[in-house]
A and B are shown apart, each in its own frame.
Chain A
């Protein structure tokens, strides 16, 4: 399920607040219901942070564990999914930063990332996602995050600010700089499809 599709679904599918309250009181089954309710939407979001299904499962788990540990911070003023998306963004961003530090798999990804110049003319959604992921993976985590949210999740600057916790001015500046870096990358890759 793509994130835009899930955005449509989220308005009419808010979880029962009772389950959240019960989870806070230590009811494991209530929290399992919360997880089952939101895991597809969270997985769709985390799929932008990794292309490895095993890592995806780990990240989705991390999101729900972290969400549970800070559940008391959820005031219920905004839909639960919005709050969960902020937690997910934090978890994904932290994962990228740790990957950059470790320089293991990600390094391989950078080298083997699908060059847009060699991408098929009419790529499937998976090929397109792979190409975009590979391209953005060449950027530092802050630039990568802002562009991932902008292109993959179709977030405007307000939404990016809300999900990342950065202020809107910073988001605009980062977006501008990241787009410039991306342009340089694309030129470097010799993208000329005119």
Chain B
């Protein structure tokens, strides 16, 4: 086992002296970043908040209407209770 790993270590020591190819990616990185720039979050936040406000308004109008639909005579009895002694 020691022999095998000795061979491997010698090989690795030699491999570490290898010259890797040179690269120049600076302009391509900047180009890619400009192309893949993350979409700003604020339009999404604005849209989500307006949707939430609209939903609250619709809910506040529709809830009393739904109540009237489920019990259509409630308004009549309420009025009658006020009129009758």
Residues in chain A within 8 A of chain B (CB atoms): 1-4, 28-29, 31-33, 35-36, 39-40, 43-44, 47, 53, 56-57, 60-61, 64-65, 68-69, 116, 119, 123-126, 128-129, 131-132, 151-152, 154, 179, 182-183, 186-187, 191, 193-194
Can you spell out 15 A-B residue pairs with CB atoms less than 8 angstroms apart? A2-B20, A35-B26, A35-B30, A36-B24, A39-B24, A43-B22, A56-B21, A61-B25, A128-B11, A132-B12, A179-B5, A183-B4, A187-B4, A191-B7, A194-B3
Contacting pair A191 B15 (CB below 8 A): no
Q: Is the CB of A125 within 8 A of B5?
A: no
Q: Which 7 A-B pairs have the closest CB atoms?
A: A129-B15, A47-B20, A125-B18, A128-B14, A151-B12, A35-B26, A125-B17
Q: Does B51 contact A (CB under 8 A)?
A: no
Known interface pairs A69-B38, A151-B8, A152-B15; A32-B1 also in contact (CB < 8 Å): no
**Cα–Cα, bound, A187→B1 (Å):** 9
Query: Which of B15, B28, B32 has a CB less than 8 Å from the CB of A132?
Result: B15
For chain B residues 25-76, which have a beta carbon within 8 Å of chain A?
Answer: 25-30, 32-34, 36, 38
Q: Are A125 and B15 in contact (CB under 8 A)?
A: yes
Q: Which applies to chain A's interface (DSSP): helix, strand, loop or mixed?
A: helix
Chain B: minimal CB distance from A172 (Å): 16
Instruction: Check A28 against B15 for contact (C-beta < 8 Å).
Output: no
- Name the CB-closest residue of A to B17: A125
Question: How far, in whole Å, are A194 and B11 apart by their CA atoms in the complex?
Answer: 15
Q: What A residues does B24 contact at CB under 8 A?
A: 36, 39
Number of B residues near A (Cβ < 8 Å) is: 31
* Tally of contacts, chain A with chain B, CB under 8 A: 112
Interface residue from A2, A119, A179, A194 paired with B16 (Cβ < 8 Å): A2
Knowing A43-B21, A43-B23, A57-B23 are in contact, say whether A128-B15 is a contact too (CB < 8 A). Answer: yes
Asked whether, in the complex, the Cβ of A129 is within 8 Å of the Cβ of B18, the reply is yes
Question: In the complex where A36-B24, A43-B23, A183-B4 touch, is A2 in contact with B29 (Cβ < 8 A)?
Answer: no
Q: Tell me which of A53, A129, A151, A194 contacts B9 (CB under 8 A).
A: A151
Minimal Cβ-Cβ distance residue in A for B13:
A128
**Complex CA–CA separation, A116 to B16 (angstroms):** 17
Q: Which of B17, B22, B23 has the most CB of A within 10 A?
A: B23
Min Cβ gap B30→A in Å is 5
B3 interface neighbour in A32, A125, A193, Cβ under 8 Å: A193
The listed residue (A47, A60, A125) touching B14 by CB distance below 8 A is: A125
